[in-house]
Amino acid sequence: MNRREFLIDAAAATALFGLGPQSSKARDAEIQILLDEPIGTIDPNLHGHFIEHIGGVIYDGVWVGEDSTIPNIGGIRKALTDGLSRLRIPVLRWPGGCFADSYDWKDGIGPRSKRSCRTNFWINDPFLAQAPPGAAKYEPNAFGTDEFIRFCRIVGAEPYIAVNLRSLTALDFDHWVEYCNSPLGSTSFATMRAQNGSCEPYNVRFWGVGNESWGCGGNFTPAEYAGEFRRFATWIPEYGVNLRLIGSGPNADDFQWTRGFFEGLTAKGKAQLDTLFGWALHYYCGTSGKGDAVDFSIDDWYGLLKKADLMESLIQQHWSIMGEVDTEHKVKLVVDEWGAWHRAGTEVDRSFLFGQMPTMRDALITALTLDTFHRHADKVPMANVAQLINNLHCLFLAHEDKFVATTNFHVFEMYKAHQGGQAVRTMIGASPIPFTSPNGPSSLWGLAGSASLQKKRLVLTVVNPHVHEECSAEINLRGGSARSCTIRTLAASDIHAHNSFENPHAVEPQDTAVTLRDKPVWTFKPASVTKLEFELG
């Protein structure tokens, strides 16, 4: 059986507990949680994030400057650090993205007044051609390695640095590792780091060897990139740090890129697999229907959710191809760019390239994607949503002194309860939802989610994608029983609802007090994300 099969085994549907009355208008479903069938530990890094020097992510987003009248901590926007304090943000990727493919890390260290100003990678984008001049077009390098590490330390995240493989050398990579990780007094770069504010090494573990090397990162063939990876990954100084190198993986369903790289990487023997920790998959569920972030139809809603759901098959298929060469599955999948991508028009400032306004639709995409990662916790140890602020699938929007948390933020806050838990097999059956796609009649599953267990605490998260209908589900625990339960739901009466500077609390989760009873039913609101936390007996 799989999670999309409707379960009708009467013996298996024995009532364990009840949470509330069943609506007569609700669709029927069943959720079975198999407590004795673990999948793998949900690495906190699955809830990772990403910031790039693009549009308003860094400047006017993360960085406002030490002399700004906007409250800041050493130049970093305080409202952002306060918002992130409500999350357990595990890992943060930087400086790109495609920006990394033209970034010289030495431009971003030392006194800011002496740092070079460079043309930003994204300046050729037609959107920026009509934007006013500024940091989005010409990179001031005010935010560099030391500022990034300081930001990570403030918010409690581990740094993940993407290396420029397209236009710098393997020696530049070595030197960046040396600057970050060599002990005080051991090298000239260690002395330079101390002069720039940190005597102690940064001990950066995660390094991305290139970015989108099939495209903006060099336009390589799989075999060519495999050769470049071997060259960059050979004999890097470690300074006692267990370096975790991440290869530039495929764009969505480019299975030949994965197959060709693994064949090329092991052309000199399978020992080369030991140099690779993760293989980075990028997948954005692109525009559906109108392609607008806020103005969309019901069919657009279902169409984009279905596109987001492709993440599951991408993980399964790339994992299978990796296993053709890496038969022991030493290398894991790292989904270090994911999210929804809408057309321009809802950005909060004209210079914010790829800025967009997240709605309830994006919240459900966040939830169903995180649930997918949990169900594949044995394959995926890290993922990084793109991006943290003012860009694509963001958690926050900011401009000058204005700041707001988006619908996506609330999902991440709800889902942090899964971090470190043991994902357990969860089977959900519900009637599919029909809709009309550009290609004709289609359908989407009626209910989906994931579950994790930490000692006696069980966390179940569930997405009901139906725009109008509730869904009442029997919740059956195989191998245990519940003593108590708390429930939090993110929902809105309008699927287009979103938080804005003018109305920052339009969409917020609500808690529900429940009393366990005999009837094992909970009714999930339409177009909602729900978290149920059980204390087990």
One DSSP character per residue, 54-122 reads STTSTBTTTB--TT-SS-EETTEEHHHHHHHTTS---EEEES-SGGGGG--GGGGSS-GGGSPPEE-GG
One DSSP character per residue, 210-228 reads -SSTTTTTT---HHHHHHH
Q: Which entry of 147, 212, 413, 470 is annotated as an active-site residue?
A: 212
Is the sign of the CA dihedral 7, 13, 18, 20 positive or negative?
positive
Name beta bridge partners: 462.
Answer: 449, 530
Name 158's Cβ contacts closer than 8 Å, sequence gap at least 6. Answer: 45, 90, 91, 92, 152, 205, 206
- Specify whether the CB–CB gap between 33 and 426 falls below 8 A: yes
Q: Coil, strand or helix: which one is 129? A: helix
* Residue 373: closest CA among 327, 322, 336: 336
End-to-end CA distance of the chain: 27
Is the sign of the CA dihedral 215, 219, 223, 224 positive or negative?
negative
**Rounded Cα distance, 276 and 234, in Å:** 11
Query: How large is the greatest C-alpha to C-alpha distance in the chain, in angstroms?
Result: 73
Q: How many helices (H) and strands (E) does the chain have?
A: 11, 25
Is residue 337 flagged as an active site residue?
yes
**Any idea which residue has 């569920």 for tokens?**
285
Look at phi and psi of residue 186 and say left if phi exceeds 0, alpha if psi is from -120 to 50, else beta: alpha
The one-letter code for the residue type at 84 is L
**Rounded Cα distance, 389 and 426, in Å:** 32
Name beta bridge partners: 458.
Answer: 453, 534
Name beta bridge partners: 399.
Answer: 402
**Any idea which residue has 């709605």 for tokens?**
359
Backbone angles phi, psi at 208, to 5 degrees: -90, 120
Q: Which entry of 139, 228, 337, 469 is annotated as an active-site residue?
A: 337
Cβ burial, residue 438 (10 Å; 0-12/13-18/19+): exposed
- Specify whether the CB–CB gap between 260 and 222 falls below 8 A: yes
**Rounded Cα distance, 169 and 175, in Å:** 10
**Rounded Cα distance, 371 and 404, in Å:** 25
**Any idea which residue has 């994030």 for tokens?**
49
**Rounded Cα distance, 347 and 140, in Å:** 22
Q: Coil, strand or helix: which one is 438? A: coil
Active site residues: 212, 337
